[in-house]
């Protein structure tokens, strides 16, 4: 199955030209790729924070050695990569 990743970043939730364009492109994509999935990320509504030292440490630490702090810090990164 094909997946489209749509990223919106306009501060305007209404009357946004870029969101309107995104709606048009998404509709065209779905017409050309029926049954495709669309993953939407709205960076204005749900901003992604900067990576931290703990996140980087988690990338280089075996999972069985992750502290609760590393697990917590990696939760956002993991959710973004797995969805």
Each residue of 32-58: pLDDT tens digit?
Answer: 999 999 999 999 999 998 999 999 999
Residues 54 and 18 in one domain: no
In this predicted structure, the answer to whether residue 62 has a pLDDT above a threshold of 80 is yes
pLDDT score at 83: 62
Tally of structural domains, the chain: 2
Two structure tokens written together for 19: 């969101």
Residues 42 and 6 in one domain: yes
Band of residue 80 on the pLDDT scale cut at 50, 70, 90: confident
Residues 56 and 40 in one domain: no
Burial class of residue 22, CB neighbours in 10 A (0-12, 13-18, 19+): middle
Two structure tokens written together for 83: 């969805």
Comparing CA positions, the residue from 81, 75, 82, 79 lying closest to residue 55 is: 75
Domain housing 75 = 49-83
């Amino acid at each position: 199955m094909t997946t489209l990743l749509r990223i919106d970043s306009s501060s305007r939730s209404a009357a946004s030209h870029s969101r309107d364009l995104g709606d048009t492109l998404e509709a065209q994509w779905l017409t050309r790729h029926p049954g495709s999935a669309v993953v939407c990320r709205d960076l204005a509504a749900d901003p992604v924070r900067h990576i931290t030292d703990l996140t980087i440490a988690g990338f280089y630490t075996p999972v069985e050695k992750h502290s609760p702090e590393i697990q917590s810090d990696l939760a956002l990164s993991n959710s973004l990569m797995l969805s």
